[in-house]
């Protein structure tokens, strides 16, 4: 009988990747569009205030993320607005705050990431072999709601039985909790599950601490840590690796 019944994946740099400069382009879109919205509402501000608030929000997020916790996207937006003016959210009103949030979460759709080679093929192969498939992703400023749209547009969303995004569960890898939440949704037990990801600490060690097997996807120039579950250099190797457990 096959030992592994469920396979979970990291997202960024495992399945998808930003285009060069993509993150900066999306940040610029957010900042410019939010600035235009404020101007259209007759709210004066210095040209650099939105960028300063955006950067300050990033510092706050990095501090929270360092503790393997996350912040709901609405709270990110409110923090940013309050960094411009403590009363700005109330001055704007609910509809305009919602529009700021839409700009904040959807700007990536104008500069979407790219699907990495072999992803669709490996997901199709796992699905054909009746593995349960999950996604476990730490998010940045782009939340799970938007990333689901990105994955659907790429043609891979349909392969996942469940997706877990850190901004929705307020936990981040390597917290074992985010892995356990996903396995509960998959109705899979840790010892019969394997997680695949490029980040040794967040993906490999996080999964191991949750009682799962783990596979480290190692880039060509990246050093392997040589753990017992092993590593792969390409997703082309994954199906055989999972079948070997």
Task: For the chain, 245 residues long, give each residue's pLDDT as a single digit of tens.
Answer: 679 999 999 999 999 999 999 999 999 999 999 999 999 999 877 779 999 999 999 999 999 999 999 999 999 999 999 999 999 999 999 999 999 999 999 999 999 999 999 999 999 999 999 999 999 999 999 999 999 999 999 999 999 999 999 999 999 999 999 999 999 999 999 999 999 999 999 999 999 999 999 999 997 555 555 555 689 999 999 999 999 88
pLDDT value of residue 231: 92
Residues sharing a CB contact under 8 Å with residue 138, sequence separation 6 or more, in sequence order: 12, 65, 70, 166, 172, 173, 202
Predicted pLDDT at 145: 98
Say what the pLDDT of residue 244 is: 87
pLDDT of 45 reads 76
Q: Which pLDDT value is given to residue 34?
A: 96
What's the pLDDT at 44?
A: 78
Torsion, Cα 122 152 217 167, to 10 degrees, reads: -150
Q: Rounded to an integer, what distance in angstroms lies between the CA atom of residue 12 and that of residue 198?
A: 8
The reported pLDDT for the residue numbered 64 is: 98
Place of tokens 């509809």: 95
The terminus-to-terminus CA distance of the chain in angstroms comes to 11
What's the DSSP call for residue 10?
-
Q: Give CA torsion, residues 121, 189, 207, 8, to 10 deg.
A: 20
């Amino acid at each position: 009988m096959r030992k592994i019944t469920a396979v979970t994946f990291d997202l960024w740099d495992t399945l998808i990747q930003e285009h060069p400069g993509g993150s900066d382009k999306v940040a610029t879109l957010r900042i410019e569009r939010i600035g235009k919205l404020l101007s259209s509402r007759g709210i004066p501000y210095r040209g650099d205030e939105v960028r300063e608030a955006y950067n300050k929000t990033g510092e706050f997020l990095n501090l929270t993320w360092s503790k393997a916790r996350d912040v709901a996207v609405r709270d990110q937006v409110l923090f940013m607005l309050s960094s411009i003016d403590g009363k700005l959210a109330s001055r704007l009103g609910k509809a305009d705050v919602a529009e700021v949030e839409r700009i904040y979460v959807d700007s990536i759709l104008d500069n979407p990431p790219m699907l990495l080679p072999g992803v669709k093929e490996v997901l199709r192969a796992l699905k054909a072999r009746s593995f349960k498939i999950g996604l476990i992703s730490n998010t940045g400023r782009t939340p799970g709601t938007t990333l689901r749209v990105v994955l659907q547009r790429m043609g891979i969303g349909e392969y996942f039985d469940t997706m877990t995004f850190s901004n929705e569960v307020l936990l981040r890898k390597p917290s074992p909790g985010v892995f356990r939440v996903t396995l509960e949704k998959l109705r899979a037990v840790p010892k019969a599950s394997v997680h695949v990801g490029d980040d040794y600490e967040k993906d490999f060690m996080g999964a191991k601490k949750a009682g799962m097997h783990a596979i480290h996807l190692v880039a060509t120039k990246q050093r392997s840590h040589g753990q017992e579950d092993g590593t792969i250099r390409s997703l082309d190797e994954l199906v055989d690796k999972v079948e070997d457990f």
